[in-house]
Amino acid sequence: MRVSFSETDIPLPVYADIISAAKRLKGKARRTPLLESKLLNDQLGGRLLIKPECLQLGGAFKFRGAYNAIEQLVQHGASGVAAYSSGNHAQGVALAASMLGVEAVIVMPKDAPKAKIENTRGFGAEVVLYDRYFEVREEIGEKIATERGLELVRPYDNADVIAGQGTVGLEIIEDVKEMGLALDAVVAPVGGGGLVAGMALAMGKLSPRTQIWGVEPQGFDDTRLSIKSGARMPHGEGESSICDSLLANIPGELTFALNHELLHDIVTVSDQEVLHAMHHAFHYLKVVSEPGGATALAAVLAGKVQLKGKTVCAVISGGNVDGEIFKRALESS
Amino acid sequence: MRVSFSETDIPLPVYADIISAAKRLKGKARRTPLLESKLLNDQLGGRLLIKPECLQLGGAFKFRGAYNAIEQLVQHGASGVAAYSSGNHAQGVALAASMLGVEAVIVMPKDAPKAKIENTRGFGAEVVLYDRYFEVREEIGEKIATERGLELVRPYDNADVIAGQGTVGLEIIEDVKEMGLALDAVVAPVGGGGLVAGMALAMGKLSPRTQIWGVEPQGFDDTRLSIKSGARMPHGEGESSICDSLLANIPGELTFALNHELLHDIVTVSDQEVLHAMHHAFHYLKVVSEPGGATALAAVLAGKVQLKGKTVCAVISGGNVDGEIFKRALESS
């Protein structure tokens, strides 16, 4: 049922794959609610709904895609999986593998947030650390998978992972319809682009008038640049960002193919805007957001995605943050 | 249908009142999910479910009771309400009144957390500040209500408020049954005792084997002392606590009548145990808890409520906390 696309001829996920993913995830993933703050709405002059995937198992939306992919690998006989990840996909894969009773080996950068490394180990995975300035994680991950007979679960360039992330969009639309609302836009953080691609697939079918916005950290706007130029390209060099979960160097092949077609626009946010958004999530919504997780909210608060007179849903994609960074958010205005 | 009780002959709420409250709150209050952390469960050797009422409208469970009471007052012609509150009932009343289109005047202590005072005003209420060391809030509240023709909505000694809070218990049992679990205990913070009393009414009907535990801050254990002695009595003097929302001086008449009958036990927790629990809620559950809101979780983490081999649900009752106190929690181990 899948259509092929692009340079790679890898089959792209379609809407039906999201429905299948939702069935696999039922009773396994957490169905996160939609949150909203009257005080924030009054300030902003619109209706801002928040999808808090920080409350998802493993503290990020990543569990959805990981479970959806690994469940199918296990059905086909896999006894273990390998992955590379800055931390959230790591935790999602580790937790899903442990729930499905298979081994997981995860390649993570040495300088990932402590909480992410500890939690990945806590879920029972073997963690292999690498130096992200001198080593290539894809190569290490592929080598480990081959040597140890494990299935590699890529963090975003995997149709089943994208379909799993798409269930975020499915739930948003279900809840918004139950509230009797029409959604003008959804806004999601973009690292490799799997979340926003999956959501765009769901929205395109269920709520075609809803604009899909992606948000990248300033200086790490490879998806924005790629869409603009019409071909996958890396972001510039030399920048730094506190958004550890969104530092992918170049869009995935599958995610680029989808996002290029389906996204309305991509904007970028600064570290300061992100800290401000984390503080707002703390104060108005009572949820813990990590820097990368707060970028969509940051874009709305900074007026980069129009909210006035509209109904917009922003995804807080994860909450795995160390206390030191969170303190900086509390100190930001 | 209500049975009368005790010294005061005020009718006590019954289970049917909670069902009526749930109908009134449907589509108005937020249905908060149950959260859970595999890492925390593994550490503690049991299954700990969290009911995060910090995610409730107004940042605390208080909206439930306030809306349930005020909706009925408005049905009976009230054009405005008055209340006294350390902050969470204030926000609940202010928000419910604004949703129902009536005036609200709230008496709050000068030293309440800034966020609580600002938010109460933000919901459109008039705030009257008082000095809680030299003035009596009940007297100020009653005077304002009489002079301005407003209905006084007491924070816990009100059958409709207690019934509204009871919907927390109703939702917990519904969700736990859907998960196929039996609940050994529920644990809730105790200030005036309205939340735990309402929950105990719901549990007594729907899950009679579930033990109901209350938790008070050390030195503010008036409900514990009252139940022990068999009569309402205040807590001792001279102590301090960071749990600003749980500093009621003496149990309510209605809440004491119910809690005396229905509670399994009450334990107390220290400020340090509370900060530790706030940190755990941040790290494992990704929710923001205020000090008073974290007492039930603190009691479980400190082993004062047994979790090993059991399934226990702890309510995080509110998340309205200033950044300075939250930073202390992040610094606690």
Which one of B55, B285, B326 has the shortest CB-CB distance to A35? Answer: B55
Residues 6+ away with beta carbon under 8 Å from B161: B65, B66, B68, B69, B153, B154, B155, B194
Dihedral, CA of residue A253, residue A257, residue A263 and residue A269, to nearest 10? 20
How confident is the model over A235-260, as a mean pLDDT? 93
Work out how many domains chain A is built from and give that number: 2
How confident is the model over A299-304, as a mean pLDDT? 98
pLDDT score of B8 more than 70: no
Q: Do residues A32 and A82 both lie within one domain?
A: no
pLDDT tens digits for B166-200? 999 999 999 999 999 999 999 999 999 999 999 99
Task: Let me know if residue B6 belongs to a domain.
Answer: no
Task: Let me know if residue B9 belongs to a domain.
Answer: no
Give percent of chain B above pLDDT 70.
Answer: 97
pLDDT tens digits for B59-101? 999 999 999 999 999 999 999 999 999 889 999 999 999 999 9
Contacts of B32 in chain A (CB under 8 A): 33
Q: Do A287 and B286 touch (CB under 8 A)?
A: yes
| Least Cα separation, residue B58 to chain A (angstroms) | 8
pLDDT tens digits for A46-82? 999 999 999 999 999 999 999 999 999 999 999 999 9
Last residue of a domain, which of B118, B152, B186? Answer: B152
Q: Do residues A182 and A44 both lie within one domain?
A: yes
| pLDDT band per the 50, 70, 90 thresholds, residue A237 | confident
Task: Let me know if residue A100 belongs to a domain.
Answer: yes
pLDDT score of A8 more than 70: no
pLDDT score of A1 more than 70: no
Q: Do residues B271 and B304 both lie within one domain?
A: yes
Q: Do A38 and B95 touch (CB under 8 A)?
A: yes
- Which pLDDT value is given to residue B87? 87
Alpha carbon distance A195, B317 (integer Å): 32
| Least Cα separation, residue B206 to chain A (angstroms) | 23
How confident is the model over B100-115, as a mean pLDDT? 93
Local structure of A104: helix, strand or coil: strand
pLDDT score of A189 more than 50: yes
Q: Do B286 and A30 touch (CB under 8 A)?
A: no
Strands A185-189 and A311-316: parallel
Q: Do residues B148 and B168 both lie within one domain?
A: no
Domain of residue B103, residue span: 62-152
Alpha carbon distance B253, B259 (integer Å): 10
- Which pLDDT value is given to residue A6? 46
Q: Is A115 on the interface with B (CB under 8 A)?
A: yes
Q: Is B67 on the interface with A (CB under 8 A)?
A: no
Contacts of A42 in chain B (CB under 8 A): 122
Q: Do residues A116 and A147 both lie within one domain?
A: yes
Alpha carbon distance A273, A198 (integer Å): 26
| pLDDT band per the 50, 70, 90 thresholds, residue B9 | low
Q: Do residues B166 and B303 both lie within one domain?
A: yes
| pLDDT band per the 50, 70, 90 thresholds, residue B1 | very low
Tokens of B107: 């008496």
Amino acid at B93: V
Residues 6+ away with beta carbon under 8 Å from B302: B269, B273
| Least Cα separation, residue B330 to chain A (angstroms) | 6
CATH number, position B113: 3.40.50.1100
Number of A:B CB contacts under 8 A? 72
Q: Do residues A273 and A218 both lie within one domain?
A: yes
Q: Do B122 and A39 touch (CB under 8 A)?
A: yes
Task: Let me know if residue A7 belongs to a domain.
Answer: no
- Which pLDDT value is given to residue B3? 43
- Which pLDDT value is given to residue A327? 98
Q: Do A279 and B319 touch (CB under 8 A)?
A: no
- CA A260 to each of CA A308, A312, B5, B120, B158: distance values in angstroms, whole numbers, following the listed order: 27, 21, 69, 45, 58
Q: Do residues A200 and A241 both lie within one domain?
A: yes
Q: Do residues B182 and B299 both lie within one domain?
A: yes
Last residue of a domain, which of B115, B137, B152? Answer: B152
- CA A61 to each of CA A35, A317, A323, B291: distance values in angstroms, whole numbers, following the listed order: 16, 6, 21, 28
Tokens of B204: 């007594």
pLDDT tens digits for A120-140? 999 999 999 999 889 999 999
| pLDDT band per the 50, 70, 90 thresholds, residue A4 | very low
* One-character DSSP codes across A188-217: EE-SSSHHHHHHHHHHHHH-TTSEEEEEEE
Smallest Cα–Cα separation from A124: which of A162, A89, A83, A96? A96
Q: Is A178 on the interface with B (CB under 8 A)?
A: no
Q: Do A33 and B38 touch (CB under 8 A)?
A: no
Q: Do residues B144 and B250 both lie within one domain?
A: no
Which one of A57, A98, A287 has the shortest CB-CB distance to B288? Answer: A287
Task: Let me know if residue A10 belongs to a domain.
Answer: no
Smallest Cα–Cα separation from A248: which of A223, A231, A229? A223
| Least Cα separation, residue B222 to chain A (angstroms) | 29
Task: Let me know if residue A198 belongs to a domain.
Answer: yes
C-beta separation of B91 from B162 below 8 A = no
Q: Do residues A81 and A186 both lie within one domain?
A: no
Q: Do residues B164 and B311 both lie within one domain?
A: yes
- Which pLDDT value is given to residue A239? 85
Give percent of chain B above pLDDT 90.
Answer: 90
Contacts of B319 in chain A (CB under 8 A): 286
pLDDT score of B5 more than 90: no
Question: Please, what sign has the CA dihedral across residues A240, A243, A245, A250?
Answer: negative
C-beta separation of A303 from A332 below 8 A = no
What's the pTM value of the predicted model, to 2 decimals? 0.95
Q: Do A286 and B287 touch (CB under 8 A)?
A: yes
Task: Let me know if residue A2 belongs to a domain.
Answer: no
pLDDT tens digits for A203-233? 999 999 999 999 999 999 999 999 999 999 9
pLDDT tens digits for A96-109? 999 999 999 999 99
Q: What is the DSSP letter of A318?
A: B
Task: Let me know if residue A144 belongs to a domain.
Answer: yes
In this structure, how many other beta carbons lie within 10 angstroms of the beta carbon of residue B310? Answer: 17
Last residue of a domain, which of B152, B183, B209? Answer: B152
Residue positions counted in chain B: 333
Q: Is B194 on the interface with A (CB under 8 A)?
A: no
C-beta separation of B122 from A39 below 8 A = yes
- Which pLDDT value is given to residue A86? 82
